[in-house]
Amino acid sequence: MASPPPFSPLLCVVDFHHARGPEIEHWIGCPPDSDPTAENDWHLIPYMALPDGAHQSEEEFSYFSLVYKASKTHEGDAQDVEPTSVFGISCCYQMDASQLLWKSKDVTRSAVQKAVVAITDRPQSFSALREKLSVVTRAWFAQRDFRDLEVLQQFQVNLGKGRTESEDERDQYFGLSLRELVHQFKWQTLVLFKCLLLQPKMLFFGSHCEQVCQVQFSLISLIPGLVRNLRDCADPQMNRYAETVRQPDSVRTSDRASLLAYLGVPLQPFGKGSVFGPYTPLQSLDILTDLDTKSYVVGSTNSLLIQQKDRYCDVLVDLDENTVNIYSPSSRTALALSAADRRWMDFLTQSVNDTWDESDPSRPKTHGYVGSEEFIRLQFEEYLLALLSSEKYHQYLTAHKDGDPKALLADVDGDPSTEYYTPFLDAWRETENYKLWNRTTDSHLFDIVEPRHPNAGGLTIEDVQRRLAAQVAELHLDERFSQTRDVVNKRLADGKIQVTSAFNKVWTDIEVMREAQRKRTEEARAASAAAAATSEDGGSNSSKPTSPTSAGAGKSAKPDVSHAQASVAAASQRASSYLSSWGAWAAEKRRSGWRSGSAATLAPAPASLAAASASGVAGELPSQHSQQQVGERPRVTTVKAAANGTAAEAAVSMQMQQDEKRDSVQKAADWKEAG
């Protein structure tokens, strides 16, 4: 088959019809009698141009790959050429239908959504093409009349004129910057890079279609020259690159392109049996499940694929969660990083984090070289070239393991390929891209590039410290502790206010209770004094002849304190006389009867004592007749302790208590009468 003719960029307009769904409205840049959709079997372009979830944003972009069959020339002549891959970029835009100056009969909804699609064979120019396409799409919508296609036609003409040779020589890297890729995925960025070489089934998922596509292009751009050599990626049957590539017979080390070609770069993970689809709609799942499709790198915004991830992917990259999930056990083992790999990636991640600028993630805040896009890209290029050289030296060591030791490199100890993790190398040697590279490269590449890992060496204490520091930084403890500290301080302040308020309330209640108790005590004292004075006044008035006039005056008179004091003194005198009579009687009994040891008689009854006291004779002892009467009573058993006067003292105490009780009853009766 002949080589395909130069591809002329095409433009098409995709509309979302309310009844028929997405469909192509216009083709711009093709002959009038040709239909690129039918000629190239591009029936899925409407679904690729309007990705799932595009209606949720005003503007959205999608990137996809197509098979260009080139069955006709621009003159309309039929020809048989080798199919190749072309790439489409779609700018999806929507606006309110009420703003249109002219509406077709198919406009029945409140919003109009269309996509302008540019198809080119140069994905390396997507960076500039995206910006141009966005401006043109907005300008076309600003006309508010979709019948006018002049701005789109002029744009298609300019796309063909702008293709120059100098542009082909320039690598225009685009999409999500490598700084953001490393900042988000950290050491897993190297896992994704090595995963790309193993050619598994990789699925990138995210809510934003443009981000999903850009991450994939950023990843494959880490292999030097791969973005400009994707002509076989749209279909698993194409293998043009492997069939035409030849081993270079010379090299110019001063020429970077010549050096890379001699080393077998770019590696080609998208050959026979492989597919690259930055955005792949559900309508393309038959390609992914085809038996001829052994590996692929695709992107999707539909969660249905996530629900069946075990069926459709070996590796899932979730951009919404920034996670890399490896479901294939063999791939999980092979993609583990060695100590040298981890040390190298930690260094690269640290260089990005130290120069990170939230306001402008694409460039270092120091505006220096370390941590920049070029720095990251050249670091990965150095890593890849060292890997290829180390693999060739491993083959050389295997072939000369029993040969002359002098034939080995003097400054290289052992097998440097083990620094890249032996299970990974074993899995890589089984892939198609390794077989193609090994077949088309010289066996002594290590004579040009030193076969040594960029961060060779075993695990050191510095590696452990750096890894721990990185893991602690990933926890964002400062942010979490800051939030926790603010919450705790707020809670402590609130608790302090509540506790202070509670204590203040308790002390206030205590003071109120004390004040109330003090008032009650004062009132009780005042009431007692008033009652006592009233009682004394009532007693003095009862001993005199009263008349209605004097009685009325007595009730209203104030208490006489001196009279109350005289009454108390008289009561004290009577008590003293009473006690003296008891004391004399007890002394006489001790001298007469108790000293001789005779049985003691009972003490006088309290009733007789009360009678004696009532007679008014102080200190008079009971008569002999009363003693004889007491003595004639039945005798009781007594103890010698009675001789000590204990019984007499108890009788005196009982009599005093009865007198006090009688006085209290009398006073209460007087107060009641006075009241």
Query: Which position has the higher pLDDT, 374 or 615?
Result: 374
Indicate whether 596 pLDDT > 50. Answer: no
| Mean pLDDT, range 239-257, rounded to an integer | 91
Q: Look up the pTM and report it.
A: 0.68
Indicate whether 624 pLDDT > 50. Answer: no
How does pLDDT run across 100-158, given as a tens digit for each residue? 888 888 777 878 889 999 999 989 888 889 999 999 999 999 998 888 999 999 999 99
pLDDT of residue 550: 39
Q: Tell me, what DSSP letter sits at residue 554?
A: H
How does pLDDT run across 380-406, given as a tens digit for each residue? 999 999 999 999 999 999 988 877 777
Residue 200 binned pLDDT confidence (cut-offs 50, 70, 90): very high
pLDDT of residue 291: 87
| Mean pLDDT, range 652-666, rounded to an integer | 69
Report the percent of the chain where pLDDT is more than 90. Answer: 44
- The mean pLDDT of the chain is 80
Q: Which residues share a beta bridge with 84?
A: 68
pLDDT of residue 667: 67
425 within 8 A of 391, measured Cβ to Cβ: yes
Q: Cα–Cα distance between 279 and 290 in angstroms, integer?
A: 18
Place of tokens 């390396």: 124
pLDDT of residue 361: 87
Of 312-321, 323-332, 441-450, 629-638, the poorest mean pLDDT is in: 629-638
Give the tokens for residue 392: 């060739």
Of 237-241, 288-292, 317-321, 490-494, the poorest mean pLDDT is in: 490-494
Q: How many residues does the chain have?
A: 675
3-state secondary structure 660-671: HHHHHHHHHHHH
- Domain range annotation of the chain: 10-162, 178-447
| Mean pLDDT, range 496-512, rounded to an integer | 82
112 within 8 A of 100, measured Cβ to Cβ: yes
Of 362-366, 513-517, 585-589, the poorest mean pLDDT is in: 585-589
Residue 628 binned pLDDT confidence (cut-offs 50, 70, 90): very low
DSSP 494-524: HHHHHHHHHHHHHHHHHHHHHHHHHHHHHHH
Q: What are phi and psi of 200, to 5 degrees?
A: -85, -170
CATH number of this structure's domain 178-447: 3.40.50.11500
DSSP 325-394: EE--HHHHHHTPPPHHHHHHHHHHHHHHHHT--TT-TTS-TT-SSTTSHHHHHHHHHHHHHHHHHHHHHH
Give the tokens for residue 89: 């970029």
Residue 477 binned pLDDT confidence (cut-offs 50, 70, 90): low
Of 149-163, 281-295, 466-480, the poorest mean pLDDT is in: 466-480
60 within 8 A of 206, measured Cβ to Cβ: no
Residue 442 binned pLDDT confidence (cut-offs 50, 70, 90): very high
Indicate whether 511 pLDDT > 70. Answer: yes
Indicate whether 603 pLDDT > 80. Answer: no
Indicate whether 484 pLDDT > 90. Answer: no
On the CB side of 631, CA atoms within 13 Å amount to 12
pLDDT of residue 134: 94
Closest CA to 314 of 303, 290, 298: 298
Closest CA to 112 of 49, 27, 18: 18
pLDDT of residue 613: 42
Residue 649 binned pLDDT confidence (cut-offs 50, 70, 90): low
pLDDT of residue 102: 84
Indicate whether 537 pLDDT > 50. Answer: yes
pLDDT of residue 101: 85
Q: Cα–Cα distance between 15 and 147 in angstroms, integer?
A: 13
| Mean pLDDT, range 493-519, rounded to an integer | 82
Of 167-176, 321-330, 447-456, the poorest mean pLDDT is in: 167-176
Indicate whether 66 pLDDT > 90. Answer: yes
pLDDT of residue 360: 86
Indicate whether 615 pLDDT > 60. Answer: no
